[in-house]
């Protein structure tokens, strides 16, 4: 199966040269800053003009392996609640990216909730927007796309534990790249307060704490499920060094402080 781009020309440029130029702008950091190996990272998935600088700050901070699991959101109520694609390729304006079939099969065996489903992935932007960054920064990578919709906390824990088993036993380094935006469409001041509460739970690596905080505080973090699964996996893997690399809201670009979206870039080593 070849999955064609769904949001090129909207979330990021459709012209290859323009796209590369924007990615280089988003990833232009201190060349002397050392890159570090990490177990996982959290990056946003809005249009590049709004959140690309946050994603770029994370991806240029870490050593990128050639095998990556992208754990994203299923924004649309279509398809399986925990969807995987285990063969084929995804196309972007920069070319095709191959799905890692061996890694995908290992994940399906370890995570019983995962179901093969092209429909859930067909229009989903949260995973797609990560690919051009990775194509520029680590051109020979392969990946596995996972999209989580609305599932219960216990199911998210099951997914996280399955992810940990696969990453722990892999003979090669595998990065768990999780994507989420934070609070949506409240004013900038309110969003920053709410986002701080979510970020604190992420830094504490508390899956239940993050889940409950977002529910009780009405924090509309769209990737809550993926983040809970990631934190569960990190607990099993023994990750001890979380870091908030960069935080921003859409108001930092648009100037509109009445209805914003929050973005956090984080690493976990």
Strands 82-84 and 67-73: unpaired
Distance CA(92)–CA(131), nearest Å, equals 7
DSSP string, the chain: -EEPPSSBTTTB-SSHHHHHHHHHHHT---TTSPPB--SEEEE--S-HHHHHHHHHHHHTTB---SEEEEEEE--SS-S-SEEE--SSEEEETTEEEEB-HHHHHHHHHH-TT-EE-SHHHHS-HHHHTHHHHHHHHSTT-EEEEEEE-S--HHHHHHHHHHHHHHHHH-SS-EEEEEE---SEEE-HHHHHHHHHHHHHHHHTT-HHHHHHHHHHTT---TTHHHHHHHHHHHHHHT---EEEEEEEETHHHH---SSEEEEEEEEE-
Task: Give the pLDDT confidence score for residue 197 in this predicted structure.
Answer: 98
Task: Give the pLDDT confidence score for residue 31 in this predicted structure.
Answer: 66
Long-range (24+ apart) CB contacts under 8 A made by 7-11 are 7/125, 7/128, 7/129, 8/92, 8/93, 10/47, 11/46, 11/47, 11/48, 11/125, 11/128, 11/129
Distance CA(62)–CA(122), nearest Å, equals 29
Instruction: Give the strands of the sheet with 2-3, arranged side by side.
Output: 2-3, 89-92, 95-98
Task: Give the pLDDT confidence score for residue 34 in this predicted structure.
Answer: 84
Q: Residue written as tokens 């392969």?
A: 142
Task: Give the pLDDT confidence score for residue 33 in this predicted structure.
Answer: 78
Task: Give the pLDDT confidence score for residue 95 in this predicted structure.
Answer: 98
Partners of 243 in the β-ladder = 267
- Residue 136 CB-half CA count within 13 A: 21
What does each of the 269 residues of the chain score in pLDDT, given as a tens digit?
899 999 999 999 999 999 999 999 999 877 677 899 999 999 999 999 999 999 999 999 999 999 999 999 999 878 899 999 999 999 999 999 999 999 999 999 999 999 999 999 999 999 999 999 999 999 999 999 999 987 899 999 999 999 999 999 999 999 999 999 999 999 999 999 999 999 999 999 999 999 999 999 999 999 999 999 999 999 999 988 999 999 999 999 999 999 999 999 999 99
């Amino acid at each position: 199966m070849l999955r064609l781009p769904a949001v090129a020309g909207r979330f990021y440029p459709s012209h290859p040269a323009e796209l590369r130029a924007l990615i280089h702008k988003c990833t232009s950091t201190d060349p002397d800053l050392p890159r570090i190996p990490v177990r996982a990272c959290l990056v946003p998935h809005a249009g590049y003009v709004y959140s690309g600088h946050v994603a770029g700050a994370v991806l240029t901070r870490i050593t990128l392996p050639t095998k990556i699991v992208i754990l994203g959101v299923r924004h649309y109520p279509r398809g399986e609640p925990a969807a995987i694609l285990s063969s084929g390729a995804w196309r972007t304006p920069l070319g095709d990216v191959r799905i890692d079939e061996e890694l995908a099969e290992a994940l399906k065996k370890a995570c019983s909730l995962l179901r093969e489903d092209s429909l859930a992935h067909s229009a989903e932007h949260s995973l797609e927007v990560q690919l051009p960054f990775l194509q520029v920064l680590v051109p020979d990578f392969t990946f596995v796309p996972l999209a989580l919709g609305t599932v219960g906390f216990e199911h998210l824990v099951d997914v996280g534990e399955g992810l940990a088993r696969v990453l722990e036993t892999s003979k090669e380094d595998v990065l768990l790249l999780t994507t989420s935006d934070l609070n949506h469409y409240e004013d900038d001041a309110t969003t920053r307060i709410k986002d701080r509460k979510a970020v604190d739970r992420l830094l504490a690596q508390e899956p239940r704490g993050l889940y409950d905080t977002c529910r009780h505080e009405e924090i509309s973090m769209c990737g809550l499920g993926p983040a809970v699964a990631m934190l569960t996996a990190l607990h099993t893997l023994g990750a001890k060094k979380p870091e908030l690399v960069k935080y921003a809201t859409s108001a930092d670009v648009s100037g509109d402080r009445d209805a914003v979206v929050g973005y956090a870039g984080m690493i976990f080593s």
